[in-house]
Amino acid sequence: MSKSVKMKDIADKLGVSIVTVSKALSNKQGVSEELREKIKEIAIELGYKSSINNTKNENYNYNIGVIVAQKYMDAENSFYFTIYNNIVKHLSDYNYYALLEVIDKNKEIENSIPNIILDKRIDGIIILGQMEETYTKTICEQGIPTIFLDFYDRHFLVDSVIGDNIYSSYAITNYLIEHGHIDIGYVGNIHSNRSILDRYLGYSKALLENGLDIKKEFIIADRDNNGAFYEFNLPNKLPTAFVCNSDKTAYYFIRYLNKIGINVPEDVSIVGFDNDIHAKICNPPITTVQIDINKMAKKCVSNIIKKIKNTGTKVDNSIIAGNIVERQSVKTI
């Protein structure tokens, strides 16, 4: 594809001269940094990669550190493995590489600086998934361009890329209401992380807008505040449906219900979130929300490169929309 794309194609798309494109791609003077980066982005978009790949700047390491808590990288957590693989793929478009460091709980508590920072081999940092606030603060204080991926934190002036947790959860709760459910519970510890809380807020918004009660006894925790899963504590009378904060939770919740003689969706309907492997292997397969992981990774990579090339650039927060994937875990009543 790159052989068929010429500098003229890039120039025509942006309304600039071929000379300007040539200067930008060869890192010569005479082009503003903003326009240079725009030209390079369009060159990658069109498939013209060779010039970019052959113009490495010795001031850069061409490595991005991806820092993630160990709790997100267990064998069952396909969401974070998938998003990391997409980060790697999109970094290659900029001739960058990902250096992954998985942080165990002790290192978070001890506030130990990640090795990839100490080794001074990275130009930027992607923090994948929410971590301890004090540990996040330590990372952000290192003076390296940083982006939060799949979470945000109002205590930090740091750009983030997140899925639209609130609206997507609102939409899938309305989906249950449209299928006749008025007693709807929520499964997830809202104190565990902000994504679970945001999904709870979307669930609550849907109930309130439809004049339905949010019943405290229908809110069931699935894990402790550190993210460790434990057995579900059911109310004496079950609602007709539950919104689960993730497909992993929905999968284990359905297994637990089956174990005590409650069938899905005959006795209770279940929806999840993420559209990961758990939604597909479950019996029945789970109706869920899918966030475009590839789009999240691509946006995150684009933003971190912008921050590296233009130190101090404020890219701001990006929210990626979701859509409902219908399967067999919901019954119309």
Asked if the domains 2-53 and 63-164+293-321 are classified in one and the same CATH topology, the answer is no
CA distance 124 to 309: 10
Task: Estimate the crossing angle of helix 7-14 against helix 33-46, to 10 degrees.
Answer: 120
Per-residue tokens: 148: 């939060």
Instruction: Provide the b/e sequence for 255-282 (b: ≥16 CB within 10 Å).
Output: eebeeeeeebbeebbbbbbbbbbbbeeb
| CATH assignment, 2-53 | 1.10.260
Whether the bond between 265 and the residue before it is cis, its omega within 30 degrees of 0, is yes
Pairing of strands 146-149, 124-128: parallel
CA distance 6 to 4: 6
Per-residue tokens: 102: 């998985």
User: In this structure, how many other beta carbons lie within 10 angstroms of the beta carbon of residue 56?
Assistant: 11
pLDDT confidence band for 126 (50 / 70 / 90)? very high
CA distance 187 to 242: 7
| Angle, vertex CA 123, rays to CA 122 and CA 129, nearest 5 | 75
pLDDT value at position 56? 58
CA distance 115 to 228: 26
75 has a pLDDT exceeding 80: no
CA distance 165 to 116: 30
pLDDT value at position 202? 98
pLDDT value at position 225? 78
* 293 contacts 323 by C-beta, under 8 angstroms: no
Q: CA torsion 183→188→194→200, rounded to 10°?
A: 0
Least confident of 70-79, 80-89, 258-267: 70-79
pLDDT confidence band for 315 (50 / 70 / 90)? low
* 224 contacts 192 by C-beta, under 8 angstroms: yes
Q: Where are the domains of the chain?
A: 2-53, 63-164+293-321, 165-291
227 has a pLDDT exceeding 80: no
Per-residue tokens: 173: 């709760």
Per-residue tokens: 164: 């639209």
Q: Which CATH superfamily is domain 63-164+293-321 in?
A: Response regulator (3.40.50.2300)
pLDDT confidence band for 49 (50 / 70 / 90)? low
pLDDT value at position 215? 96
Q: Where are the alpha helices (DSSP H) in 220-292?
A: 247-259, 277-281
Closest to 303 in 3D by CA, of 146, 70, 130, 178: 146
In which residue are the tokens 């798309």 written? Answer: 13
Q: Percent of the chain beyond pLDDT 90?
A: 69
Average pLDDT, the chain: 90
- Specify whether domain 165-291 bears CATH 3.10.110.10: no
